[in-house]
């Protein structure tokens, strides 16, 4: 009996429920008065489509008077009747070698006497030319009296036989040009320049400076 009484009391204690008589929560809703205002509706107006183009009532027919040139494309295909050339019938045209080749691009430059055994014959040619000018140059007395000085540009051509011709000078005074011509006239005969094993004319230019001490 005591055990049953204790169990009954424990069950009632565990299952007993109680509720508060007053609520501590405010269930009222604070509604923003702005939400009650009526929002005006905005209606978007669509533009009407553009009018369709009106077709012309009359059509003008233009006559085409310009003739049309047709391009005829010949076929490159061969057939059994196509004649095939033999190798002997083909003419080989050799490239024309110019008779005059500039000193800067010629294959075999003219050989100045004394440069036959040099490896760089172009550098030896220019060096021997400078030595020749320094050795043979004489300042004209008449040019000294009038105080003429400056640089004379000289151009000449080494012919196919190694001779010098077509000498042209341009300088500040005729006396200096005359002396430059005399210096070039003293040049020895050279071995002509060659292009592809053929002797050609080679133009060459050199400046000669005359300066008073």
pLDDT tops 70 at residue 24 = no
Between 70 and 134, the higher pLDDT residue: 134
pLDDT for the residue numbered 138: 92
Q: What is the pLDDT at residue 13? A: 81
Q: Is the pLDDT of residue 112 over 90?
A: yes
Model pLDDT for residues 148-195, shown as the tens digit of each residue: 999 999 999 999 999 999 999 999 999 999 999 999 999 999 999 999
Instruction: Say if residues 194 and 101 touch (Cβ distance below 8 Å).
Output: no
Report DSSP state, residue 152.
Answer: E
Q: What CA–CA distance (Å, rounded) separates 162 from 25? A: 127
Confidence of residue 52 (pLDDT cuts 50, 70, 90): confident
**21 pLDDT above the threshold of 80:** no
- Write out the two tokens for 166: 């077509």
Residue 16 pLDDT exceeds 90: no
13 versus 192: which is more confidently predicted?
192
Q: What pTM does this model have?
A: 0.53
Question: Per-residue pLDDT averaged across 68-72, rounded?
Answer: 69
d(CA 96, CA 51): 74
Give me the chain's average pLDDT, please. Answer: 81
Using the predicted structure, report yes or no on whether residue 89 has a pLDDT greater than 70.
Answer: no
Least confident of 32-36, 44-48, 117-121: 32-36
Note the pLDDT of residue 108. Answer: 92
Q: 203 near 106, Cβ under 8 Å? A: no
* Predicted pLDDT at 159: 94
* pLDDT at res. 14: 83
Rounded to 10°, the helix 121-136/174-185 angle is 120
Which residue did the predictor score with more confidence, 63 or 48?
A: 48
DSSP strand pairing (150-158 vs 164-170)? antiparallel
What CA–CA distance (Å, rounded) separates 102 from 113? 20
The mean per-residue pLDDT over the stretch 66-72 comes to 68
Fold exhibited by the domain 121-210:
TolA/TonB C-terminal domain (3.30.2420)
Name the residue with higher pLDDT: 53 or 63: 53
Give the start-to-end residue ranges of the domains of the chain. 121-210
């Amino acid at each position: 009996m005591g055990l049953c009484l204790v169990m009954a009391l424990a069950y009632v204690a565990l299952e007993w429920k109680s509720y508060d008589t007053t609520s501590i929560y405010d269930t009222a809703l604070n509604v923003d008065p702005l939400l009650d205002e009526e929002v005006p509706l905005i209606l978007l107006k669509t533009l009407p489509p553009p009018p369709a183009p009106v077709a012309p009532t009359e059509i003008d027919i233009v006559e085409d008077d310009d003739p049309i040139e047709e391009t005829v494309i010949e076929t490159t295909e061969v057939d059994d009747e196509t004649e095939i050339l033999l190798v002997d019938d083909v003419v080989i045209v050799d490239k024309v070698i110019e008779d005059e080749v500039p000193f800067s691009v010629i294959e075999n430059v003219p050989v100045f006497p004394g440069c036959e055994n040099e490896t760089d014959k172009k550098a030896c040619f220019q060096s021997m030319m400078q030595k020749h000018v320094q050795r043979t140059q004489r300042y004209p007395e008449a040019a000294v009296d009038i105080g003429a000085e400056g640089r004379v540009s000289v151009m000449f051509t080494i012919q196919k036989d190694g001779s010098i011709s077509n000498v042209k000078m341009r300088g500040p005074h005729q006396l200096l040009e005359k002396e430059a011509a005399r210096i070039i006239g003293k040049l020895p005969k050279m071995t002509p320049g060659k292009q592809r094993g053929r002797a050609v004319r080679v133009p060459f230019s050199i400046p000669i400076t005359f300066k008073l001490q």
